[in-house]
A and B are shown apart, each in its own frame.
Chain A
């Protein structure tokens, strides 16, 4: 228990760049998802295609309920965010693999993506002038608070995902230390639930932020 959960887990280095375990796992997940999709396209199996379409339309339908309008402009970003997070959080059940979201870098990168895409979607939907003006609403006095809330909500998005995944990993490590065989299994099952819920919450919060930036223009 003397290894810090906050320190990165460096596997090897390419030149001066250290490569941590989270990066390797992330790339493995991305390669696996891409390979699966390419194989699905090549296979041209109607059943598989129908299954994938069910997944995509289910995500779009969930987004429509949150957004309250046509969700398709948001589906590419938020859908892939959700699918990646599900895969990343569920690597906790693969023996020998640790979820990359349990280290601070991956949630930080994902929260940064959400932070930037909020502005991109907002400027694209409203135009730069009107988008920047919404920071002055309802009162120009509130500009610092609006900017601060923009930063803190990104920070809390990051810390929420990181904290939940890391603390769960930590709890499992402690339980394994106390009682080795069979006792950690209920905790691992709970980990599946936590991973799915955190992926869902991250996606829903990203959706809410993006929709708030896009605003109620062409509803």
Chain B
């Protein structure tokens, strides 16, 4: 078990990506559902709504991207494996 650090790092990367994909996907789904409902109710506000939706989705998606970058750091630039 002299490559324990690599094994744990890969496990950590998998956990980071999986949880970092589940929660943002869930919240993006909720945001899109709310925006759809609002557009259905007020189609004339679709421009403003979709612009705000895009910015909000980008904010949410940043969390997933953070997890991905962390996972890649663990895999490729791990500070403990030299």
Contacts and interface: CB of A to CB of B under 8 A. Distances in A.
A164 B47 CA distance: 24
B65 A163 contact: yes
A201 interface: yes
Contacts, number: 47
B19 interface: no
Interface in A182-212: 197-198, 200-201, 204-205, 208
B62 A6 contact: no
Interface string A139-162: 000000000000000001001101
The number of chain A residues touching the other chain, given as a range, is 20 to 34
Contact of B65 (A6, A167, A197, A208): A167
Contact of A5 (B48, B54, B66, B76): B76
Nearest to B69: A163
A167 B17 CA distance: 12
A162 B68 CA distance: 11
Interface string A160-187: 1011100100100000000000000000
B58 A5 contact: no
A7 B72 CA distance: 11
Given A4-B77, A65-B47, A167 B68 contact: yes
A65 B47 CA distance: 10
B72 A6 contact: yes
Contacts of B69: 159, 162-163
Interface of B: 47-48, 51, 54-55, 58, 61-62, 65-66, 68-69, 72-73, 76-77
7 contacts: A4-B76, A65-B48, A156-B62, A163-B68, A167-B65, A170-B72, A197-B54
